[in-house]
Amino acid sequence: MFLWQYLTPLLLIAAQICKVQTCDEFTDLNFGHAFIGTSISIRLLLYTRENGTCGTLLSHTNLSAHPQFKLSRPTTFAIHGYRPTGSPPVWVGNITELLLYRKDVNVIVVDWNHGAANVNYFKAVENTHKAAANLTAFIKRMQEHGASLSSIHLIGVSLGAHISGFVGANLNGAIGRITALDPAGPQFTGTAPEDRLDSKDAQFVDVLHTDIDALGFREPLGHIDFYANGGTDQPGCPKTIFSGGSYFKCDHQRSVLLYLESLNQTCASRAFPCSSYSEFLDGNCLNCDRFGAAGCPVFGYDITMWKDILLKLGHTKTYFTTTTKSPFCMSGYRVDVMIWNKDIRWGYITVKLHYKGTEAVATIDHKSLKFQKYTETRLFAQFDKDIPSVHKVSLKFSNGNVFKPKYKLRVLRIRLTHLERKERPLCRYDIVLEEKREVTFRPIPCEESNF
């Protein structure tokens, strides 16, 4: 009895500690739930730098119940999309961790898995309006307790992008920022602005498109729209249906992976304003003067550095390319080629840059290139990695047709200009490229000339 007098308080304290340390997690459903269908239910999971890996389930009505939820801090909401299998999104933990690393904010994961988990996609679409109404009421309550709408950032994936838009519209566009990651296309394409995400839904709306020919939305929706690899067929994603489920969702999901990489600052993807992807690949859109000293926008989390000028421009449509896997960003060069062949030559060029055993490769093969005597052909070369200094360059020319005779491309001058670094272009003069034979040389700083 005497021993229990001392043990009981200790056990009560231990129980309280365990209770405090209990973490709330994202709803984990399965295909059975999706097959039967789920009704809408919203759970808001709070993460802060004090509890970065341990979610706290917020009350929708009693905000004072959570002292760690400081409304003086900015708040970022992460909103997922359609969940046909009922499983939690794999990116939730990563985006929470990276957002908190970048800034001292409240991160709220909007768990509407009950409502998104449904084999009937049309029902999930219907539930987006209900989810938005719930979230709008919560944000209004935040505002009543002193939160500024300008300090709120909504990050929406697929259907979550349109939920963000509905919330923003409900709040008369006063939300600070909406980031839309491959907004859903089915059931939203061709609809009026009030029935989908629109640039008027927040003070600033940035949008990434990665699957415009299937699950994503094709047309521009924000103040700036980024089209990765033209918005279709992301590198490294399966090309045939025999790859299983990945064939259907890989392009769509790439949007989240690209955004996560922008958060962790692995590297930067510079995006160029252009009217079309083909014009971009042709190198006709490399002028960034309209953006001043900052240059063309860099995709991702830090796009707000260009916010003021983008708002003045009204809307900007941009393109960038990526590699097949992380790190996804590429390094761009302008390549100018002048030949002295008597006849016109058509073909493709592969360029390799060498530096201390590291090799960066760019294959310019989106279309057959035209080379004409004493006429400069401008190419846009995008390398799979950036190297600090170019020691050697390798070139290979091909006409791309096994039935045509082999040609030689007599190059009077080739000039390589890095699009990021303000450094002197590199040149090589008077070289002969035999078809499908790689030629390697040391470049020299370009000299001013009359040709």
Both 340 and 216 in one domain: the answer is no
Q: Which of 111, 182, 206, 211 is catalytic?
A: 182
Q: Is residue 308 part of a domain?
A: yes
Q: What is the pLDDT of residue 421?
A: 87
Both 30 and 94 in one domain: the answer is yes
Q: Residue 25 corresponds to which tokens in the numbers above?
A: 């997690």
Amino acid code (one letter) for 157: V
Q: What is the pLDDT of residue 11?
A: 40
Q: What is the pLDDT of residue 247?
A: 79
pLDDT at residue 404 tops 90: no
The per-residue pLDDT for range 266-325, each reduced to its tens digit, is 889 999 999 999 999 999 999 999 999 899 999 999 999 999 999 999 999 999 999 999
Both 131 and 277 in one domain: the answer is yes
pLDDT tier, 403 (very low <50, low <70, confident <90, very high otherwise): low
Q: Assign residue 204 the CATH number of its domain.
A: 3.40.50.1820
pLDDT at residue 230 tops 70: yes
Q: What is the pLDDT of residue 255?
A: 98
Both 304 and 339 in one domain: the answer is no
Q: DSSP class of residue 334?
A: E
What is the torsional sign of CA 195, 200, 206, 209? positive
pLDDT tier, 10 (very low <50, low <70, confident <90, very high otherwise): very low
The per-residue pLDDT for range 166-218, each reduced to its tens digit, is 999 999 999 999 999 999 999 999 999 999 999 999 999 999 999 999 999 99
Q: Assign residue 427 the CATH number of its domain.
A: 2.60.60.20
Cα distance between residue 92 and residue 160, in whole Å: 13
Q: Which of 33, 162, 209, 252 is catalytic?
A: 252
Angle at 210 between CA 206 and CA 214, to 5 degrees: 125
Both 217 and 366 in one domain: the answer is no
Q: Which of 151, 158, 164, 199 is catalytic?
A: 158
Residues in the chain: 451
pLDDT at residue 396 tops 60: yes
Q: What is the pLDDT of residue 8?
A: 44
pTM of this prediction exceeds 0.85: yes
> CA separation (Å) from 431 to 243, 362, 372, 408, 444?
44, 19, 16, 10, 13
- Secondary structure of 37-80 as H, E, C letters: CCCCCCEEEEECHHHCCCCEECCCCCHHHCCCCCCCCCEEEEEC
Cα distance between residue 66 and residue 25, in whole Å: 16
Q: Is residue 1 part of a domain?
A: no
pLDDT tier, 136 (very low <50, low <70, confident <90, very high otherwise): very high
Q: What is the pLDDT of residue 449?
A: 62
Mean pLDDT of the chain: 92
Both 341 and 195 in one domain: the answer is no
pLDDT tier, 422 (very low <50, low <70, confident <90, very high otherwise): confident
Cα distance between residue 304 and residue 222, in whole Å: 13
From 298, 320, 342, the end of a domain falls on 320
**Whether 255 is catalytic:** no
Q: Is residue 261 part of a domain?
A: yes
Q: Which of 16-30, 86-100, 192-206, 220-234 has the lowest mean pLDDT?
A: 16-30
pLDDT at residue 338 tops 50: yes
Residues of the chain with pLDDT > 70: what percent? Answer: 94
Q: Is residue 239 part of a domain?
A: yes
**Whether 182 is catalytic:** yes
Tell me the residue range of the domain where 372 lies.
331-445
Both 242 and 341 in one domain: the answer is no
**Whether 398 is catalytic:** no
Residue 196 annotated as binding site: yes
pLDDT at residue 16 tops 50: no
Both 339 and 300 in one domain: the answer is no
pLDDT at residue 7 tops 80: no
Residue 251 annotated as binding site: no
Cα distance between residue 184 and residue 166, in whole Å: 14
Q: Is residue 451 part of a domain?
A: no
Q: Is residue 155 part of a domain?
A: yes
pLDDT at residue 223 tops 50: yes
- How many distinct structural domains can be found in the chain? 2
Residue 28 annotated as binding site: no
